[in-house]
Structure 1
């Protein structure tokens, strides 16, 4: 027997989709990248001594870093793994959301400055065009005056 053409209604489920209260809006990929950048900066800031120790050991070495600086690298990695928690990621996300208004205000100020400069350029262009038009009219009037002098003088000779 063939399946029915109209599917039978499914029973309604009473469970609601989980809502993420810490992240009220879905972020775009570029916004997620900004959050990750903040997150990594926060993690690195917690492990500054270990990172500095590894960097000091690695300075001036190339391939030999792998075996000469192994203890410092393990200490640095373990510190970063311990600092890279979900709570730290949530804190970075909250910090990003807190800065939204500030970034929006900065972007609006930049746009206002661009618009102001655009209006200045338009005004300068209009003044230059007006100046060129007046010079052209003056030049045309002088040429017309010279033409009338030539033609006026030829009638009397």
Structure 2
């Protein structure tokens, strides 16, 4: 007797409404790392102060601060934090789009000014580019 297979759920949950490109995923990762660093700012600052002006000896002298910094970052580097960074990225999509549109508008205005300044809109000049008959 043949049985029908049970419905198989996807092993990876969907984390955003649309799939992201590699560049967009990189932006999400940057937000994620910034959020983790913000939560562990005190530990990072203590380690940096200890390691200042040290080279090889920082490994032994600043061991306690390094372990504290690493344990803090590991504790906060969770899937929940990555999801929060992804949500933040999607929430700021409109702001990034508006900024990009303003930048393109400003670039077009600057190009128009450049072309007017150098008289590039009037066509070829009467120099070496014209043919003699």
Q: Same fold (TM over 0.5)?
A: yes
Unaligned runs of 5+ in 2: 127-133
Partner of 1:155: none
* Partner SS for 2:32: helix
Distance 2:41 2:118 in 1: 54
TM-score (norm 1): 0.67
Distance 1:127 1:90 in 2: 51
Distance 1:75 1:22 in 2: 31
Partner of 2:91: 98
Q: Are 2:103 and 1:110 equivalent residues in the alignment?
A: yes
CA root-mean-square deviation:
2.6
Q: Per residue, is there more helix in 1 or in 2?
A: 1
**Shift of the alpha carbon at 1:126?**
3.8
Deviations 1:29-85 (A, max 9, x none): 111111111101100111111111111110111100011111110011001000111
* Partner SS for 1:27: coil
Q: How many residues align?
A: 122
Q: Are 2:57 and 1:56 equivalent residues in the alignment?
A: no
Max radius of gyration: which structure? 1
Q: Are 2:68 and 1:75 equivalent residues in the alignment?
A: yes
Matches within 5 A, 1:21-36: 21-36=14-29
Higher relative contact order (CA 8 A, sep 6+): 2
Distance 1:127 1:94 in 2: 46
* Partner SS for 2:110: helix
Distance verdict in 2 for CA 1:115–1:12, change over 3 Å: farther
Partner of 1:85: 78
